[in-house]
Homo-oligomer: A and B are copies of this chain.
Amino acid sequence: MTYSVAVSGASGYAGGEILRLLAAHPDIEIRTVTAHSNAGQPLTAHQPHLRSLAHLELQPTTPEVLSGHDIVFLALPHGQSGQYTDALDDTALVIDAGADHRLTSQEAWDQFYGGDFHDPWAYGVPELLTGDGKLREQLRSARRIAAPGCNASTVSLSLAPGVAARVIDPADIVSVLAVGPSGAGKSLKPHLLGSEILGTANPYAVGGTHRHIPEIRQALAAASSGSAEDIRISFTPVIVPMSRGILATSSAPIVDGVTDAQIRDAWESAYADEAFVQLLPEGSFPRTADVLGANTALLGLAIDRAANRVVVVAAVDNLVKGTAGAAIQSMNLALGLPEGRALTMNGVAP
């Protein structure tokens, strides 16, 4: 069976990456691509790398255009997907790459986003531990899926095993991320110009203001069967001169009395059977180049007894495992297809 698909926000980075992955998917027909101000133009005017889709033309993003497909991907700015809910009521599968359906707590939404609160959808990170299993199970029957925030899922996957196994203290997590500017989208802002990005490292949202913080707290609370209030995280993203990629260095205090073996085992047992979340051998740490274009999250683990902290370094392609790959992987699960279809494990390096 071939599923018909519409992708909104097709002129942006998330939309483009969803299309790049879907173009290699044997069960998918990309029927419709939409954009806001660029409707009427060829897709390749905005995504010149998508040569196999050179026949597609951008249509306006309206409920009428989006309805009537088996699957709809929403890759819109935050706050904009709600208006399509009614029109997509009959659509078998809707996947939102935006933030509107990620948070379960209206209080957190109001604090970090504001505007209308929407009901939470199934969260598109199959490998993430919940109190009694993994999110994969919930995704198998999902009809509405929220793809994760790229930084959020990277940090959550990094620490969930240790939090779930209670070998690290989630009350004093520190995460610092080197991130590429594509995570900020195609916004025309001065600090995102090439001249401002090249040859420099730029911090932003320092001091607890980044919108992915409540998403991490929610995910780690679920992993520990606890409350988001018990998860505290100092979170600092730093834009560095690579177009894509997240290298997240996260650490948390070691719980008194646990052994090195217990610590390492927490991560090993959590991800031993996963294709797309892999713990590297002891002493090895990942680079973002290793996962460029791939759906893989690579983790390296260090136990620093002198500092009394477990350090996890995670490499993710923000546009693949961080967004579009997570969306396709979740789609495969929801459709009952092989989970890894059209996704690659190997990065494009050097």
Q: List 20 A-B contacts (CB under 8 A).
A: A48-B287, A49-B289, A51-B278, A53-B346, A172-B308, A174-B251, A180-B198, A186-B190, A188-B190, A197-B197, A199-B242, A200-B292, A203-B247, A207-B304, A232-B308, A236-B249, A240-B240, A241-B242, A292-B348, A348-B348
**Which chain A residues have a beta carbon within 8 Å of chain B's beta carbons?**
13, 16, 20, 23-24, 47-53, 172-174, 176, 178, 180-182, 186, 188-190, 192-204, 206-208, 232-236, 238-245, 247, 249, 251, 253, 278, 284-294, 296, 298, 300, 302-309, 311, 313, 315, 344-350
How many angstroms between the C-alpha atoms of A186 and B193 in the bound complex?
7
Chain B residues contacting A286 (CB-CB under 8 Å) are: 48, 203
Chain B residues contacting A178 (CB-CB under 8 Å) are: 178, 201, 238, 240
How many angstroms between the C-alpha atoms of A344 and B294 in the bound complex?
14
Chain B residues contacting A346 (CB-CB under 8 Å) are: 20, 23-24, 49-53
How many angstroms between the C-alpha atoms of A272 and B306 in the bound complex?
34
Residue of B nearest to A320 (CB): B348
A16, A198, A200: residue with the most chain B Cβ atoms closer than 10 Å: A200
Task: Tell whether, in the assembled complex, residue A198 and residue B194 are in contact, meaning their CB atoms are under 8 Å apart.
Answer: yes
